[in-house]
Structure formats: structure tokens, C-alpha cells
Amino acid sequence: MDKNTVVSWEAQEYVPRDKNVGWYIGLVIVGLALITLAVYVQWWTFAILIVVSVAALIVYSVRPPRVLKYSVNYKGLKEGNKTYNFEEFKEFGVINDVGHYAIVLTPRKRFSPRVWVYFPEQQGEKIVDSFGAKLPMGEVKLDVIDKIVRLLRI
């Protein structure tokens, strides 16, 4: 840890959601239904897109989350090899995501995705204070995409 680092920790990149065999069967059934529709109306590109999407979802869902190193300094957040400057965000919030705490950074750019940063509960106060020193804290409201991702457990 260098002298400019306020706090550092390790955490999973996302919270893995349990998926049973029924989830995978449902995914394949929905994929096959969409492929059937695409073939019926001769949307060949859409059919290929569905095959690739289902394959990508299966690969993504069986891959375990990586454990990343995070650190906060006076300029921003470092996530593994990626650096985010505080100027990129207008606010942050804290959320309890299925028993795992996360900082949610809201970007200034309209169509940029929010950044979710998980952290261990025992370091929570120091981590939240380090973000609070640079950004205003706001309430985290799940948007439509977040709700769909939680519903689908991906």
C-alpha cells in the first residue's frame, strides 16, 4: 500500500447468485423459443444473436467471481488495474446486496453504468468515510436493469 492510499481491501467482483438445474433448463427453453420464432420469420441474424447470448449467459453464470484488490486514495478508486477518478461520479450510496455490502457510484455521464464495489463489513466505516470525503452520499434506488438482473439471478 503506497503512502497516498486511504484504505484498501479485497472483495469479489460481484455476488454470485445460486442457480439450479431448472434455471439452466428455463434459459435453454426460452432460447429455443426465440430461435424458433427467428427462423419462422427468417431473422437469421437474430437467431445467431440468441445462440451467442445464451452461450454467453451460461459461460458467465458458471464462472466464479474473481477476487479483486481495491484501494481508495485522494484522487479516486483503484479496482484491480482499473482506476476511477472521483470527478467521474456525482454521488455514491451504500446498499446491502443479499448480505454483501456495496458502494454504488453514480456517474456524471448520462448513459454510463453505475460502478458497484463490494467491501467487507468490518472495514465498512473507513471505506464509506473515504468516499464521503470526496463525494456526496445519496440514496441507491435500483433501476429497471438492476431489478431484471436480480430477478434473473445473473
Domain parsing of the chain, residue ranges: 5-14+68-152, 21-62
Instruction: Check: CB of residue 140 under 8 Å from CB of residue 114.
Output: no
CB within 8 A of 89, min separation 6: which ones? 105, 106, 107, 108, 115, 135
Q: What's the pLDDT at 150?
A: 80
Nearest to 102 by CA among 7, 9, 29, 14: 14
- For 88-123, how does the pLDDT look when each residue is reduced to its tens digit (9 = 90+)? 999 999 998 878 899 999 999 988 889 999 999 999
C-alpha distance across the termini of the chain, in Å: 33
Instruction: Check: CB of residue 154 under 8 Å from CB of residue 57.
Output: yes
Q: CA–CA separation, 114 vs 95, rounded Å?
A: 13
Higher pLDDT, 146 or 136: 136
Q: What's the pLDDT at 8?
A: 92
Model confidence, pTM: 0.78
pLDDT-based confidence at 71, cuts 50/70/90? very high
What is the dotted CATH code of the domain comprising 5-14+68-152? Answer: 2.30.29.30
Q: CA–CA separation, 43 vs 35, rounded Å?
A: 9
pLDDT exceeds 70 at position 3? no
pLDDT-based confidence at 151, cuts 50/70/90? confident
Q: What's the pLDDT at 127?
A: 94
